[in-house]
Amino acid sequence: MLLTKFFDSISKIVPGSPLSGREEALARLNPDKIYLENVRSVLGVSSGSAQQIIDTAVRQGIFERYVEVVCPDGAVAASAKTESELPEIVHCWKEEEGHLEEREIPTSTLPKVTFYRMV
């Protein structure tokens, strides 16, 4: 699996055996949507170290960086390679008086989350 190859290659960066006992957690990762917390958790490193590992993977062409915009209910409304490629308006659902209503919300007012995809 590509993720195993990636984590094997980073074992040269992270001291010790980063995958020892973490094979199950690694197998559950979605190679199309890897978050900083996934890498931090699987490797048992700090967020700063996980970000350095991810940045190295991006530079080496193993990961691509993406950004997603998140609706108030936590649903992902849109994703793109860069923030500038996100739509200006997204559609989110909001519950009002027991009914779901679709709302148009400016992307600029919503939180963005960075994630990574295996190449």
Amino acid at 110: L
The count of structural domains within the chain is: 2
Is residue 106 situated within a structural domain?
yes
In this structure, are 69 and 113 located in the same domain?
Answer: yes
Is residue 16 situated within a structural domain?
no
The DSSP result for 72-96, as a single string, is TTS-EEEEESSGGGS-SEEEEEEEE
In tens digits, the chain (119 residues) has pLDDT values of: 566 666 666 665 555 555 556 667 777 788 899 999 998 888 888 999 899 989 988 998 889 999 999 999 999 999 999 999 999 999 999 888 888 999 999 999 999 999 999 88
3 state DSSP class of 92: strand
Which residue range forms the structural domain that includes residue 38? 2-6+22-62
Hey, what are 17's tokens?
């055996």
In this structure, are 56 and 32 located in the same domain?
Answer: yes
